[in-house]
Chains A and B, each alone.
Chain A
Amino acid sequence: MKRLIREESGMAMGLAVVMIALIGVMGAGLLVFVRNDLEAVVEVNRGQKAMDIAEAGVQAAKRQLLSDANRRHYDKDFSNDCGSAAPGDDPRIGDDWSPGPNLANADCSSSTAKTSIGVTKNFAGGRFTVTIQCFDQPGDVGDVCAGIDESSPETVEASNRAFFKVTSTGYYPADGSGAKRRVEAIFSTVNLGVPKAYFTPNNINVRGTAEVTDVSLFSLGNVNLYGGATVRGEDKAYLNWKNSFNPTPRPTTAAGIGAAGTISGRVANRDYDSATCPKFVKDLAESSSCSSPGRITFPFDYKTQQGQQDQNRIDFLREEAKTNGVYYSSSGGNVYVGDSGDDVEWPADATSNTVVFIEYTSAGGTNKVTWRPGNDCNDPPLEGTLVVYGGDFTLNQHTTPFKGVVIVRGGVYEEGESVDAGGNTCLNGFVNASGDIEIKGNVEPLATEDVVRRPGFYGVRLWSWRELYG
């Protein structure tokens, strides 16, 4: 005590300690503000991230619907995921996105309980869980959307537009300890107006004894029927061709020919070209000297087969093929699609939803894909969609038939190697090619319903969107 009174040593230390404590208290106060502010910002940002992740889930579901829009795959009956004998009712593609609690086992005779409904994926530091659910729709035969008691928001048949409800929950961070956002989006399929016919912006030549049955031929160029070639039956896809794309009906529902150029071997009141009345035009604004109705046009949106729209669709089909491991590329020359040992073997488990893409990486006059599996047109057909990009395509005679759609870009489509191929080549489907189409064999269409659900033939459009709270 005496020492403290007599001496001043140690005072500076004491004062310094007091000052440090004072500054420390003030600094801590400031840190409280900063921390509170940061916490608010972090919370808002986490919420935003969770919302973005939920949105990513919605987009993933939309992509799934573009690959597989079979409503039975999005109900609560696991056994529906395995497909049935009904046309177009193929097995589910990819993961089980349905809201059903059970997952079908490989043999589809039983199921296992899922740990969570729908599909869960990690994304951008968070995770989303998404379900896709079908709706009951008018015209359903039986309980198509099994276990779901909710009607579609519009009273429209599923064959026109199928509705799906996507519910996506986004979490950030992934362990669920932070923000959570839930989004519900309703999507509907939309017909892209892709031709359910034979279509080319160039010419179509039908030769030999070819029989074109129940399907029409359309061209922005000329159509030539040579020799004994015939077009017969009923146009099952477009009937009299009157619809939202074409206001002028034909007086018949027979399969016919529409050409913006000319038709040789034209049948009156069935086939229409630039010389008929009504005049066949590619654009209804074109002039016509015919009395009303002056013009008739394509019963589909042929522009979907050109320009950016077409490129987008081709890009989608390429991606689809790559996803499913059936994308092939060639630097040039011949590519044979056939049995084992050929360049491309058609997938054994192919369904109508299968897309096989064969792409030539360099241009060349000898690029040609040839279809030659099997040796009998009466064999069970191979199904799917075949895209040939950058070359020609030939469907050989005496082969296993192809049931599906052939899309040729950058080349011609040829059916049968010789003009007497009539009856020996069998394509059960449609063709659209950027080059000429040469038909020397028999042709029949796919069922319309089958086409509507085929990847690349329909789009998926957002119908409504909402955020779910709680």
Chain B
Amino acid sequence: MRERLLKEEDGFTLPELMVTMMMMILVMFALYSIFDMSIRVFSFGNDKVEAVENARIGLERMEREIRAAYPYDRTATPPDTRLLATWSESEITFGHDLNRDHAITSGEEITYNLSGGSSPTLLRNGQPVIEFVEPEGLKFEYLRADETAAASEAQIAIVRVELTIVVDDRVQKLSTDVALRNRSSQS
């Protein structure tokens, strides 16, 4: 075998090699296309999943904080029983009594709203919480206990939060109803 390989130069002809190389290039291109598509699909899927995960976690945080909204000043005479300082369709402001003085003081207020721009971010006191939010993709709805629309702050017993995420033109909508636990404590 070794002797034959050393003595003879017979093998593939040039056309055979050319054809083979062309076929290999074609196969390589095809494989690269598949590989590239896989990478794209993986990245897209990963981004989307991560965005939705973040949105879920952010929404849960918002839900937990809104649920515990505290009356603004229970020590005043008469008490200031407002739970929500701002309650618009796109923004909500409320407080947590962190220092347990039964009133909302500086640093205890929390505001959720959206930043501007074509790809806004959900902000908590100005700090980003959730990215890839659809423009106007944050909506608050304020309901009474019987789930009809509330006409005044005092009537609000439930806050319905709707958050729409957009990743590569794919839309994911998350929503939740939050019962204000400290509303019932004043009745």
A residues whose Cβ falls under 8 Å from a Cβ of B: 22, 25-26, 29-30, 33, 36-37, 40-41, 44, 47, 51, 153, 461-467
How far in angstroms is the closest Cβ of chain B from A178? 15
Tell me whether A33 and B56 are in contact (CB under 8 A): no
Cβ of A462: which chain B residues have Cβ within 8 Å of it?
A: 181, 184-185
State the CA gap A467–B63 with chains docked (Å): 11
Tell me whether A37 and B96 are in contact (CB under 8 A): no
Interface of B is mostly: helix
Tell me whether A26 and B185 are in contact (CB under 8 A): no
Cβ of A44: which chain B residues have Cβ within 8 Å of it?
A: 56-57, 60
Contact residue among B45, B49, B57, B182 (Cβ-Cβ distance under 8 Å from A464): B182
Contact residue among B38, B60, B102 (Cβ-Cβ distance under 8 Å from A153): B102
Tell me whether A33 and B46 are in contact (CB under 8 A): yes
Within 91-145 of B, Cβ neighbours of A (below 8 Å) are at: 96-97, 102
Tell me whether A37 and B53 are in contact (CB under 8 A): yes
**Chain B interface size range:** 20 to 34
How far in angstroms is the closest Cβ of chain A from B63? 9
Tell me whether A465 and B181 are in contact (CB under 8 A): yes
Cβ of B182: which chain A residues have Cβ within 8 Å of it?
A: 464-465
State the CA gap A462–B181 with chains docked (Å): 9
Cβ of B52: which chain A residues have Cβ within 8 Å of it?
A: 37, 40
| Nearest CB in chain A to that of B64: its residue | A467
How far in angstroms is the closest Cβ of chain A from B20? 13
Q: Is B28 an interface residue (CB 8 A)?
A: no
| Nearest CB in chain B to that of A461: its residue | B185
> Which 10 A-B residue pairings sit nearest by Cβ, starting from the closest?
A465-B181, A40-B53, A462-B185, A33-B45, A466-B68, A33-B49, A467-B68, A37-B49, A36-B49, A29-B42
Contact residue among A29, A41, A153 (Cβ-Cβ distance under 8 Å from B56): A41
Tell me whether B68 and A465 are in contact (CB under 8 A): yes
Mask for B63-85, Cβ within 8 A of A = 1, else 0? Answer: 01001101100100000000000
Mask for B27-71, Cβ within 8 A of A = 1, else 0? Answer: 000000010001001100110111011001100100010011011
Given contacts A33-B49, A37-B49, A153-B74, 8 further A-B contacts (CB under 8 A): A22-B34, A26-B41, A29-B41, A40-B52, A153-B102, A464-B97, A465-B68, A465-B182
Tell me whether B57 and A40 are in contact (CB under 8 A): yes
Tell me whether B53 and A30 are in contact (CB under 8 A): no
Cβ of B71: which chain A residues have Cβ within 8 Å of it?
A: 464
Interface of A is mostly: helix
How far in angstroms is the closest Cβ of chain A from B21? 18
17 residue pairs A–B, Cβ–Cβ below 8 Å: A25-B38, A29-B38, A33-B49, A37-B53, A40-B52, A40-B53, A44-B57, A47-B60, A463-B185, A464-B97, A464-B182, A464-B185, A465-B68, A465-B181, A466-B70, A466-B96, A467-B67
State the CA gap A448–B30 with chains docked (Å): 91
State the CA gap A331–B74 with chains docked (Å): 52
Cβ of A22: which chain B residues have Cβ within 8 Å of it?
A: 34
| Nearest CB in chain A to that of B46: its residue | A33
Given A22-B34, A26-B38, answer yes or no on A464-B70 (Cβ-Cβ < 8 Å).
Answer: yes
Cβ of A41: which chain B residues have Cβ within 8 Å of it?
A: 56
Cβ of A467: which chain B residues have Cβ within 8 Å of it?
A: 64, 67-68
State the CA gap A29–B50 with chains docked (Å): 14
State the CA gap A36–B42 with chains docked (Å): 13
Tell me whether A465 and B49 are in contact (CB under 8 A): no
How far in angstroms is the closest Cβ of chain B from A152? 11
Cβ of B50: which chain A residues have Cβ within 8 Å of it?
A: 36
Given A33-B49, A153-B74, A466-B68, answer yes or no on A40-B34 (Cβ-Cβ < 8 Å).
Answer: no
How far in angstroms is the closest Cβ of chain B from A137? 15
| Nearest CB in chain A to that of B52: its residue | A37
How far in angstroms is the closest Cβ of chain B from A291? 33
State the CA gap A41–B49 with chains docked (Å): 11
State the CA gap A44–B56 with chains docked (Å): 8
